[in-house]
Structure 1
Amino acid sequence: MRISQAIAKAARISAARLATVDETGQRRWGETGNRIARLAAALTAKGLTPGDRVAVLANNSTAFFEIWFAIPWAAGVTVPLNTRLALPELAFQLQDAGVGLLLFSAEYETTAQALLAEGAVSAIVALDGHAEGSVSALIEAAAPIAEVAAPTDLAGIFYTGGTTGLPKGVMLSHGNLTAMASNLLAHIDFREGDVLFHAAPMFHLADIGTLFGTMAGGTHVFRRQLDADQMLDDFAAYGVTHCFTVPTIIERMVSSPRSQGRSFEALRILGYGGAPMTSGSQAAARARFPNAGFCQGYGQTEFPAATILTPEDHASGDAAKLGSCGRTCFGYDIRIVDESGAECPAGEVGEIVGRGDNVMMGYWNRPEETADVLRGGWIHTRDAGRMDANGYITITDRLKDMIVSAAENVYSIEVENALSWHPAVAEVAVVGVPDAEWGERVHAIITLADGAAPPDTAELADFCRQRIARYKVPKSFDFRREPLPRSAAGKILKRELRAEAVAAEG
């Protein structure tokens, strides 16, 4: 299946339905489909040939949505750029992918001009406005063309976060992306006319709703800047039925005064991913949004949307289920294996490996790394986890983040869950730091709740011992007021925190 088929279908059978909403206005599916086909024609006229890479540097918007589909419509390859990256990081990705054309939104014009000046790209085009040469002007001057891509064609190169070493370009085909979106539609109740608020950045695969929402003929609501208060207002104004985001955004909505006294009755699904949601945060969110079903999933850029913990699982109240990331999605296989590659018994921790139509084609221009991670026909995630007898998978840690203290394995998520119940804790990250006595010491970095004083560390350790084994209890704590550093996907950057903790000890 091709990405562009979703647009063609929506434009044909949902032509009069509302397609997109952002600060520039609203468009219906008939107009949206026509604009995308014309934009694909305009890109082709500018020299785009099948397989050419086109980068996008933009915040969420209708313009980004249109180009998201127009590039693969013309059999081009989209390279979405993380808007938080510094100029040298952007230049590396552009040059690594061999990008010729960069499309940018107004707030990144200075960056785009700088990238052009230093030769990272050969051409830039503005997504915003109607000036000569802008995307709108190109659309107005073009006639629509038919889709030209094939399901096996490369559709996008999505760069990993680069928390260790240089970022790698993950290659995903039309078939990879449509398999992932179709699979999610099989698990999530999303219908024609439903309204999806895009809380995840469109440059990230976390916003796969761009595709599955279109496949179902739903309505997309975009905001360039993500603000919890604005989100709540949009939920009420547009009757938002679905929102998929990260735990920290849900936590901000829960604590916002604008959530008080509102029922948000239209909201049927509130999903989260990209990072675990602590037990305490889950309980608070369910209390604040009682009409919404909650779901979450697990995946990587290389193996996206691989599991799902359904609203029914959340509603069960089963603590074991709620501590998991759910079960394998339809059509995929997941196993837990030991260091030799043998499958682990139920409940035993090992590496998560998987296979399915969502598995990446490979890393761009990195055949050796591709062969290593895809060895034996399975993608090796380098995530540690366990699977129970009913197939529920619990992520225990990144393999590199597992703490070995006095020969005992400590999984940071278990410790973070225990600490999350303390009223003084707003958010927490647990890392291992070198220790002469223990080998590694369990160290907790805690952002304090508003108005909370740093708790007594002995009291906090005792609080943990009531919930987890003694050897897992942190032996040292760091309290702060500022939020913990996170990636664009909402993941806490533990590598940075670990480095800070080690440097502080000299």
Structure 2
Amino acid sequence: MSEPSPHLQADSVWELVCRRAAATPGALLVVDERRRRMTFAEFRDSVERVAAGLAARGVGRGTVVSWQLPSWIETIVLFAALSRLGAVQNPLIMMLREPEVEFICRQAGSRLLIVPESFRRFEHGAMAHSLAARLPGLEVLTTGAGLPEADPAALPPEPQGPEARWLFYTSGTTAAAKGAKHTDEGLLAAARTFCTAIEPTPDDRIAALAPLAHVGGVLHVLAALMAGSALIINDVFEPAASAELLRDEGVTLGGSGVPFLQGFLREQRARPRERLFPSMRAFLIGGAPRHESLHYETRDRLGGAGISSGYGLTECPFLSWGRPDDGDHEHATADGQPGPETRVRIVRADGTRADAGEIGELWVRAPQLTVGYVDSGLDKAAFDAEGFFRTGDLASLDGRGYLTITGRLKDVIIRNMENVSAREVEDHLLAVPGLADATVIGLPDPDTGERVCAVVVPVDPASPPELGEICAHLRARGLNTRRLPVQLEILAELPRNAMGKVVKTALRERFLESAGRA
């Protein structure tokens, strides 16, 4: 095992690419599901050629470029090439379809939309050309023949200055998507938070299974460039095939969310006599509720330290991360400690500061915080006079500085004038035997205002649980009777966005429609 190298520092993404290629040119940056590999030096050279090819098409400083591409090596090259040119880039996750893409491209003022011709039986190219016919000035580039390349000798110097060159749109699980503006400096600060906590080294092989178009996907690449680690990516998650890829490539840091972890645990249970990932030192997750038992099963079955959880949001990514050497209690229940230079406040409903361990709304001010929304009219309500961002998440901060996310401010069910935290009920529900997945939503009720509805996926679809059976388990776990679900819905799977978050708006709409038909 080699000694950990210092994490590189840089003021821009392109500077970081160049510094890493100079430091460890022959080391591996990325390997994909087809076992294609690219070193740091090959990456730098490819980025320059693609930047020159894009420049020949008129892309330069300030050009707004939207791209919707799978987690391909070419995608990493593209976003670094756009950074080299000083373009304003707008990554779009693959699940977005024409209405959402049109809204975003129109609001962002996109001048170029880059898509695959098709992917997973969806014609992205046809969609893009349809949009271009309605959006004046929008051009389309499909990647069927690869990314454009040219001689980099004619490239101008890298544009300088702390400009907002990244537009990331929120997942839109509970409201319309909002575009958050970020600078290179902000994203690099977020990646430093990851590196400070997780301490990746050149020996690490990091599973970057979250979409590269998500801010967390971009940050995994930046962290790998800082640390000299290698990334393992694939464009479609399939538990058995993805597990084989990670095993073959010697994964040491798993990721990148609860749905991925659950898939790997199922694979491991099916192979009790072999350890899937013998080199695993921690499994990195974030973005979804979990029961504390998940950590212990991960530790015992997959190995290493178990779960190391992080927290962030599109507006302030990688706000906190747990450390692999934290204790089991922190791994099981908390979401790490805020990163360097990150200031957090837990605020009560009346605007006063909460005490240590008390739940309130999380406010944050940090180097990686968005510099504002694309729709600037949203800024006033989002920030206070001191520049703290109101996250809308409920959290507590203990006396040692560990942050625990407990739910969403808006994800509260008001039943008989009493607030019921959906996250609290979900934490108990996820521990009920026989459930593969579960969530809780509030539905209108003529007598109580709202009622608690549990939506579950049974392990055995032929033997679904009954409401009384579930409530008995919840009562045995100490859940207050007033918080028990009074409605149960059974599904084959829960609707989730690209980061594994349950799309509760879809569930509410579905069961409101069912109630209307009834």
TM over 0.5, yes or no?
yes
* Match for residue 447 of structure 1 among 451, 457, 476: 457
User: Does structure 1 conserve the Cα–Cα contact (< 8 Å) formed by 2:168 and 2:181?
Assistant: yes
- Distance in 1, Cα, partners of 2:144 & 2:355: 55
Q: Which residue of structure 2 lines up, in the alignment, with residue 348 of structure 1?
A: 358
The residue aligned with 1:43 is 54
Matching residue of 1:54:
65
The alpha-carbon deviation at position 165 of structure 1 amounts to 4.5
Does 2:107 match 1:96?
A: yes
Single out whichever of 487-496 and 405-414 deviates more from structure 2: 405-414
What SS does the aligned partner of 1:251 have? helix
Equivalents in 2 of 1:224, 1:469: separation in Å? 40
Aligned to 1:370: 379
Moved more, 98-107 or 253-262: 253-262
Instruction: Return the letter of the residue paired with 1:291.
Output: G
Matched, 1:478 2:488: yes
**Which residue matches 1:224?**
235
Residue 421 of structure 1: how far off its partner (Å): 1.7
Give how far 1:327 is off: 2.4
Q: Specify which of 71, 81, 85 is matched with residue 92 of structure 2.
A: 81
- 1:188 aligns with 198
Q: CA deviation at 1:121?
A: 5.7
Unaligned residue ranges in structure 1 (runs of 5+): none
Q: Does 1:295 align with 2:308?
A: yes
Contact 1:64 1:127 in 2 (8 A): no
- Once the two structures are superposed, residues 12-68 of structure 1 have per-residue CA deviations (whole angstroms, 9 ceiling, x without a partner) of 111111222233722222121011122222222321221111111110011001011
Aligned AA for 2:100? E
Percent of pairs identical after alignment? 27
Q: 1:273 maps to which residue?
A: 286
Q: Tell me how far apart the structure 1 counterparts of residues 378 and 504 of structure 2 sit (CA, whole Å).
A: 23
Structure 1 residue 90 displacement after superposition: 0.8
Following the alignment from structure 1 to structure 2, what is the Cα–Cα distance between the partners of residues 447 and 283?
22
Q: Distance in 2 between matches of 1:120 and 1:194?
A: 46
TM-score by length of 2: 0.90
Is contact 1:190–1:216 with CA below 8 Å preserved after alignment? yes
Q: CA deviation at 1:147?
A: 5.3
SS state at 2:255 partner:
strand
In the alignment of these two chains, the number of paired residues is 496
* Amino acid paired to 1:116: A
Match of 2:141 among 122, 125, 129: 125
* Partner AA of 1:276 in structure 2: P
The one-letter amino acid paired with 1:269 is: A
- Residue 501 of structure 2 aligns to a residue in which SS? coil
Deviation at 1:292, TM superposition (A): 4.8
Q: Which amino acid aligns with 2:275?
A: R
Alpha-carbon distance in structure 1 between the residues aligned to 2:101 and 2:136: 9
Instruction: Give the TM-score normalised by structure 1.
Output: 0.92
**1:363 shift after superposition:** 0.4
Q: 2:132 maps to what in 1?
A: 116
1:246 to 257, 275, 278: 257
Aligned 8 A contact 1:264 1:291 in 2: no
Structure 2, gaps ≥5 residues long? 1-10, 119-123
**Structure 2: how far apart are the matches of 1:432 and 1:74?**
47
Could you list the runs of 4 or more consecutive aligned residues of structure 1 that deviate by over 6 angstroms after TM superposition? none
Q: Cα 1:388–1:468, aligned 2, differ >3 Å: closer, same or farther?
A: farther
Question: RMSD in angstroms over aligned alpha carbons?
Answer: 2.2
Q: Which amino acid aligns with 2:428?
A: A
**8 Å contact kept, 2:420–2:483:** no
| 1:404-423 per-position Cα deviation (integer Å, ceiling 9, x unaligned) | 22333221122112122222
**2:3: which partner in 1?**
none
Alignment of 1:249-328 (within 5 A): 249-256=260-267, 260=272, 261-313=274-326, 316-318=327-329, 322-328=332-338
AA in 2 matched with 1:122: L
C-alpha distance in structure 2 between counterparts of 1:422 and 1:262, whole Å: 26
2:153 is paired with a residue of what secondary structure? coil
Determine the structure 1 residue equivalent to 2:404.
394
